[in-house]
Amino acid sequence: MQYSKYMKWFAVAATIGMLLILLGGALVTKTDSGMGCGRNWPDCNGSLIPKEITTEVLIEFSHRVVTGAVSFLILILTVWSWRVLGHIREVKFLSFMALFFLIAQALIGAAQVLWGQGDFILALHFGISLISFAAVLLLTLIIFEVDQKFDADKVIIGNTLKRHTIGVTIYSYLVVYTGALVRHTNASLICPDWPLCNNKDIGLPANFYEWVQMGHRFAAGLIFVWILFIAIHAIKHYKEQRVLYWGWIIALIIVSLQVLAGMAVVLSRLNILLALLHSLLITLLFGLLCYMILLLSRSRQNQKSN
């Protein structure tokens, strides 16, 4: 149908827009541009459009413009999908989650600009945006009828894979939080080596910043091992269900690249492109894991109907 075609393009635009919000927020943090517009919000340094353009102003103001524009896209997509696809039970929930968490991340960003916040609160900012991205991504996949194309509406998932899918998805959010905490506590370069903080001096971290950095590395290493285990399990037992088989293989590839990107960020002394790639990969991984959670819902429906 004609409206379906337009909705697909709109959903893609909203998904790309959310990705730009996430990467823009990461860029603001990594370049210390958060105060580029001063203690002013929604205006920038006292003007609706900044009069003096510095690098920090450009990065922060661009992030605000993108966030505002994408917010309208997601609002329209939410209402549109609610009306047209409301009969699909996940659509209303995902629409609400996308809009709610987008507003939440915008308010946290505004609160930081106006009043300032602690590092542990700020570290939630990226994670909240991530939930909104995942909700928009899943809406997009539903609109594109990915379930039917990959027979995802026929999956049957065993208890072992169910438990690990839920566990690793929840745990991935902890990994995201520890990574954001590394950035917000300025602990990114506290450890000069990899994989240890100092490869010549093996021992426990010596201060808070080293604990934050090494805690994130340990968390990232554990999620790699966990997804490796799940991927092996899926390859052995779910070869006939290609959405699960290939889904977990792709998850393993992404998490492997994520580990390599993290290493490259440290060894390159925080190269900005590598750092943004690091953020992009965890975003894609979290979105894929959330889709795997959606498949659990499909599996329960299929088991009831059998």
- pLDDT tens over the chain, length 306 residues: 444 778 888 899 999 999 999 998 888 888 888 788 888 888 888 888 888 888 998 999 998 999 889 999 999 998 888 888 888 878 889 988 998 988 888 888 778 777 766 666 777 888 888 999 999 999 998 888 776 777 777 888 999 999 999 999 999 999 999 998 998 888 888 998 898 898 888 888 889 999 999 999 999 999 999 999 999 999 999 999 989 999 999 999 999 999 999 999 999 988 999 999 999 999 999 999 999 999 998 888 776 665
Enter the pTM of the model.
0.90
Task: Answer for the pair 132, 102: CB distance below 8 angstroms, yes or no.
Answer: yes
Q: Respond yes or no: is residue 90 known to be catalytic.
A: no
Instruction: Return the residue matching tokens 């965890």.
Output: 282
State the helix-helix crossing angle for 272-305 and 242-267, rounded to 10 degrees.
160
State the helix-helix crossing angle for 2-30 and 119-143, rounded to 10 degrees.
160
* 278 in a labelled binding site: yes
Taking the domains of the chain in order of start, what are their residue ranges? Answer: 1-144, 146-306
Catalytic residue among 52, 56, 60, 90: 60
What is d(CA 130, CA 134) in angstroms, rounded to the nearest whole number?
Answer: 6
Instruction: Return the residue matching tokens 């426990």.
Output: 204
